[in-house]
Structure 1
Amino acid sequence: MEENYRCGRYFFVFLLLELKEYCDEVAQKADKNHIRVSINEIYPTNHVVTLGVNEETDIVPDITCWDFEGFKKTIDDQYLCRNK
């Protein structure tokens, strides 16, 4: 049976007040759904704030589970994942 591994780690900090405001906006939704939204170092399967656009072209923050699925844990795959 083939195992699926994930890659796609990144680092996120609040450099702009606007980014913190987006996170604050989704905090209530996260609490209601018992979700911990990650900041700073983000790993696959962490929940993160993502930004989308609604029909009125307003920026709308939401919560997304972060990952790239389907990579095997080998040196070649780790290289490909880092360099995508």
Structure 2
Amino acid sequence: MNRKLKLIWDFKGPVSQKTAEHHCIHLKEFATIEKLHFYEINFTVLSEMHTIAFIIVDEIDMKTYRDALKPHRGQLA
């Protein structure tokens, strides 16, 4: 079984939530255009000044997403 990875983008400041929500739209568009599989695209509000956008993908697809979209960090999902 292939491991799932969570690729994460951090957004900070008073409009971090709106920015993260908008970033999720672009993540979905990229996956659709490139016909790439993903498990989930979403955002999480960590505080009123810090929100993350993320995509959960199979480890085998990670390099494609990473090289094209430059996530800030990643972790096992």
Instruction: Judge same fold: TM > 0.5, yes or no.
Output: no
Task: Tell me the TM-score normalized by structure 1.
Answer: 0.29
The structure showing larger relative contact order (alpha-carbon pairs under 8 Å, at least 6 residues apart) is: 2
When Rg is computed on C-alpha atoms for both structures, the one with the higher figure is: 1
- TM-score, structure 2 length as denominator? 0.31
